[in-house]
Amino acid sequence: MIYGRKIFLTTFIALICWLNTPKISFASTYAKADIKLNLRELPTTESKILEILKKGQKIETLGSEGGWTKIQADGKTGYVKSEFIHAVPAGELDTSSPGFAKTNTNLNLRTGPTTESDKIILIKKGRKIETLGEIDGWSKVKFSDYEGYVKSEFIYAVSEDEPDTAYTGVELTPWAQAKNIFAIGQDAEVYDIYTGETYYVRSFSNGSHADVEPVTANDTAIMKSTYGGVWKWDPRPVLVLINGHTMAASINGMPHGGGVNSGNNMDGQVCIHFKGSSAHNGNYSFTNWHQEALMDAYNMTSSW
């Protein structure tokens, strides 16, 4: 009986101690560090430092306890002094690492941090950009006169004095040269100016202009989507990227004639025009239409 009373008394005392201990609310919110800040294992200044947070670093907060806030950052959970952080919305950028970077592939700059966001422009591989912040695997960047978002995994940090060596500009390439750069049998990437979509085509003839076919059925589907899902003769301003060149061009969207690439879901071929190329059978009005479209491509992108 005495033993049972001891158990009850011990349990009761423990309960009272637990009730009088400050507790953390685990409602998750977000905050930023106002200064470089020690993330500690426990809510005391004597506790082990797990990491040093950067000024402007975005953190997830889990609750408060006696002037300390429990947080998650960089995969670690610990405590920081509440006076050195401030609350921010969930969509706030992490601005702890502004600086400069380069693209390691051709990369779409988008209006928001999602693949569904509108494309602004194509940034070529190796271009230098200014990084402004990061959120959910996306970096907000400034490139030329544009600001937008790119996937963080496709850029790498560089110093401020790193030269922008990859930039050669959009080329207004005469057809006599373009036919050698984009030779028969080669694949090239096509960037549609108006939609920002990219797809690949293969050249199989280069008489008056380049006769091409999409490489795969997926390339055909993307190309058709740039025409609103309906094949049309209308020329569209595009860029043709191949072997380090970015050439202003114009493409039509009506499969015609014969094709040689089976399995791409296109019955025929389409034409790509470059500076000075011409349409079949001396069709001057169609030739001029293509030349106007490729000049639109050049004028809209020459500062990239």
Task: Work out the pLDDT band at 271, boundaries 50, 70, 90.
Answer: very high
Per-residue HEC secondary structure of the chain comes to: CHHHHHHHHHHHHHHHHHHCCCCCCCCCEEEEECCCEEEECCCCCCCCEEEEECCCCEEEEEEEECCEEEEEECCEEEEEEHHHEEEECCCCCECCCCEEEEECCCEEEECCCCCCCCEEEEECCCCEEEEEEEECCEEEEEECCEEEEEEHHHEEEECCCCCCCCCCCCECCEHHHHHHHCCCCCEEEEEECCCCCEEEEEEEECCCCEEEEECCHHHHHHHHHHCCCCCEEEEEEEEEEECCEEEEEEEEECCECCCCCCCCCCCCEEEEECECCCCHHHCHHHHHHHHHHHHHHHHHHCCC
Question: Per-residue pLDDT averaged across 98-104, rounded?
Answer: 87
Q: Do 24-88 and 99-158 have matching folds? A: yes
For the segment 69-86, what is each residue's pLDDT rounded down to a tens digit?
998 888 899 999 999 988
What is the pLDDT at residue 11?
A: 44
Residue 167 has pLDDT above 60, yes or no: no
Q: Where are the domains of the chain?
A: 24-88, 99-158, 175-301
Q: What is the CATH number of domain 99-158?
A: 2.30.30.40
Given this structure, which CATH class describes domain 175-301?
mainly beta
Residue 25 has pLDDT above 80, yes or no: no
Superfamily of domain 24-88: SH3 Domains (2.30.30.40)
Q: pTM above 0.75?
A: no
Question: Per-residue pLDDT averaged across 200-221, rounded?
Answer: 95
Residue 88 has pLDDT above 90, yes or no: no
